[in-house]
């Protein structure tokens, strides 16, 4: 079981982090515990549709749920790979976002912690009414069919989140599970790579995932890989983006030349171009209307699987009515699993 941490314990942990400049993750061994609810029994599929989505905390839960249940491209998804899902954060109504979404969609789920949050978050989130309950934030996989052998893979730490208004204990991780299909298991890896590091740092994190799935013949890796082509933890690099775009206007939506992890993924036998909508951005920074500044951060990679016949990789805007439900869009691809 993942324990409930009291507000007083959170405050004490924050005091330790600030005073010791320590991450404390090794002391909180329960950070690697999982929360799960099995999916209803179902026959192994011969074809699956996989959706990747950064839910931006789940603050717009109702809109996300409505899109996933009604949009013609999303409503029949077999697997959802979700990043940035809260459990017990005031900013998202203290929901268990993964559990509540799975219940609304009739799916099973596995939730893995990336961070124990020591504050309410950042910027306007700090003014959210009420207090955090569980104070957890992480990745989740939702599925129409049972998942097995779930585990957390902690990725190489390439920055510290211990200080600042968004103080956290933990770090980036991948959630790995196995999905049974008509022709054997598929390993699913849902991950969220670091934004506050260089492309080389993200390459190191992807290398850890590739090593973890090296022995698996059929694998799908997906999530927000933060392939921004720069270190978003460095203000000088952020301020230099207009200069970067003057030199290469396609840089943010075509990040492959600047992010070495893509070469490693291809070398490991994964499909990339065939299962992602090429040069279509997946992230819309708040208030930015100029599409040149929209980024392609979210990806699916697959090995040992073919794209489903007649299916085209898509990016579905995360817009419900006239409002965005996340700063990221949905990415969708279907695969043949074999008989």
CATH number at residue 63: 3.60.10.10
What is the span of the domain harbouring residue 158? 7-336
- 316 in a structural domain: yes
Judge whether 80 and 339 are in contact, CB under 8 Å.
no
What whole-number distance in Å separates Cα of residue 66 and Cα of residue 63?
Answer: 5
- Rounded to 5 degrees, φ, ψ at 39 are -75, 155
- 167 in a structural domain: yes
What whole-number distance in Å separates Cα of residue 261 and Cα of residue 154?
Answer: 17
Count of the separate structural domains present in the chain: 1
- 294 in a structural domain: yes
- 242 in a structural domain: yes
Q: Which residue has the tokens 């995932």?
A: 209
- 260 in a structural domain: yes
- 1 in a structural domain: no
Q: What is the DSSP string of 286-298?
A: TT---GGG-B--E
- Rounded to 5 degrees, φ, ψ at 262 are -65, -40
- 224 in a structural domain: yes
The token duo for 295 is: 């980024």
Question: Could you tell me where the DSSP H helices lie in the chain?
Answer: 7-20, 61-70, 97-105, 199-212, 235-239, 241-247, 261-267
The pTM of the full predicted model, rounded to 2 decimals, is: 0.96
Q: Residue 294: which of 260, 311, 318 has the closest Cα?
A: 318
User: pLDDT tens digits for the chain (339 residues)?
Assistant: 677 788 888 888 888 776 665 666 666 788 899 999 999 888 888 899 999 999 999 999 999 999 999 999 999 999 999 999 999 999 999 999 999 999 999 999 999 999 999 999 999 999 999 999 999 999 999 999 999 999 999 999 998 888 778 889 889 999 999 999 988 999 999 999 999 999 999 999 999 999 999 999 999 999 999 999 999 999 999 999 999 999 999 999 999 999 999 999 999 999 999 999 999 999 999 888 899 999 999 999 999 999 999 889 999 999 999 999 999 999 999 999 875
Instruction: Name 106's Cβ contacts closer than 8 Å, sequence gap at least 6.
Output: 40, 144
Query: Dihedral angle at the C-alpha atoms of 215, 188, 221, 209, nearest 10 degrees?
Result: -50
- 235 in a structural domain: yes
């Amino acid at each position: 079981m993942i324990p409930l941490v009291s507000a007083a314990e959170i405050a004490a942990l924050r005091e330790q982090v600030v005073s010791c400049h320590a991450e404390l993750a090794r002391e909180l061994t329960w950070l690697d515990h999982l929360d799960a609810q099995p999916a209803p029994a179902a026959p192994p599929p011969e074809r699956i549709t996989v959706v990747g989505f950064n839910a931006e905390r789940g603050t717009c839960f109702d809109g996300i749920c409505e899109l996933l249940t009604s949009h013609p491209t999303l409503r029949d998804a077999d697997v959802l790979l979700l990043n940035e899902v809260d459990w017990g954060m005031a900013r998202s109504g203290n929901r268990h976002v993964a559990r509540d979404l799975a219940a609304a969609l009739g799916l099973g789920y596995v939730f893995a912690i990336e961070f124990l949050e020591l504050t309410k978050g950042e910027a306007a989130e700090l003014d959210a009414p009420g207090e955090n309950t569980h104070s957890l934030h992480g990745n989740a996989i939702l599925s129409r069919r049972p998942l097995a052998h779930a585990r957390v893979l902690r990725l190489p730490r390439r920055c510290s989140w211990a200080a600042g208004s968004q103080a956290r204990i933990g770090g980036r991780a991948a959630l790995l599970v196995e999905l049974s299909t008509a022709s054997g298991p598929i390993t699913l890896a849902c991950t969220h790579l670091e934004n506050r590091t260089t492309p080389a740092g993200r390459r190191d994190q992807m290398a850890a995932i590739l090593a973890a799935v090296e022995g698996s013949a059929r694998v799908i890796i997906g999530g927000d890989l933060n392939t921004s082509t720069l270190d978003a933890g460095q203000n000088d690099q952020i301020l230099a983006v207009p200069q970067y775009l003057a030199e290469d206007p396609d840089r943010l939506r075509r990040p492959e030349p600047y992010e070495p992890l893509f070469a490693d993924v291809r070398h490991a036998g994964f499909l990339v171009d065939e299962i992602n909508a090429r040069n279509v951005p997946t992230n819309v920074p708040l208030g930015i209307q100029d599409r040149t500044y929209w980024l392609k951060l979210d990806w699916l990679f697959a090995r040992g699987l073919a794209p489903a016949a007649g299916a085209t990789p898509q990016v579905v805007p995360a817009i419900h009515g006239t409002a965005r439900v996340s700063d990221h869009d949905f990415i969708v691809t279907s695969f043949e699993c074999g008989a």
